[in-house]
Amino acid sequence: MTAGRVLLWRHGRTAHNVQARLQGQSDIPLDEVGHWQAHTAAAAIAARYRPTRIVVSDLIRARVTADALASMVDLVPVVDTRVRERSFGDWEGMTATEIAEQWPADHAAWAQGGEPNRPGGESRAAVAARMVEGVMAHADDLGDDDTLLVVSHGAAIGLGVAGLLGLPPAWRGIVGVSNAHWAELRLGRGNLGPTWRLTGYNLGPTDASADWDAGPDREVRDPD
């Protein structure tokens, strides 16, 4: 048995997102807009999908995002460290400009598609492998009519989607999902492969706000 649908949902906005700082596995909380994004997106997901199980990264920004949905669908999120964000070692907390100033050669190599040559940094292949392992471990415990929702992070979701589609870790054919947006995959049929098919990417509430990162249009409507 395998879940018929998998959703990979990115956490709401943080201060590091606003400042374009590399977040990685640093445990950064949601900011005020991030809380609003999480609740607004959660309402859309609850109405559209009614997930069967919620799996969440252990980082606080993901757990708070997951809790926004869990309270609406009466589920208890399952924490799984395999779906946490990619580690960038001692680059975490820095902007691209700051990294380039301190490590110009390493940054230039990274900008050209190389791996972050930093202590504690994870390769794309390692992240893709653990994401696929984590998602499949939970999906395989569900049935065809079930929806597995995984609350994760930008880099991890991009690599997880590629891995589930059978694409190599070096493939960069999709951009990152926006805060509190999600990817949707459906179980493939027959023997044509791959096992999963991407049916939607960077999905989110269409009626949330004229500017998602500005928060609610309070003079017009409040999506909460």
Active site members? 11, 85
Cα-based distances in Å from 58 to 79, 83, 198:
6, 8, 25
Q: Which residues pair with 157 in a beta bridge?
A: none
Pair 135, 6: CB distance under 8 Å: yes
Nearby residues of 33 by Cβ (< 8 Å), 6 or more positions away:
12, 13, 213, 214, 215
Pair 41, 94: CB distance under 8 Å: no
Rg of the Cα atoms in the chain: 17
Reading the block at residue 117, the tokens are 């040559």
Pair 147, 52: CB distance under 8 Å: yes
Q: Phi/psi zone of residue 134: left (φ > 0), alpha (ψ -120 to 50 degrees), beta?
A: alpha
Which is nearest to 124 in space by CA: 103, 155, 97?
155
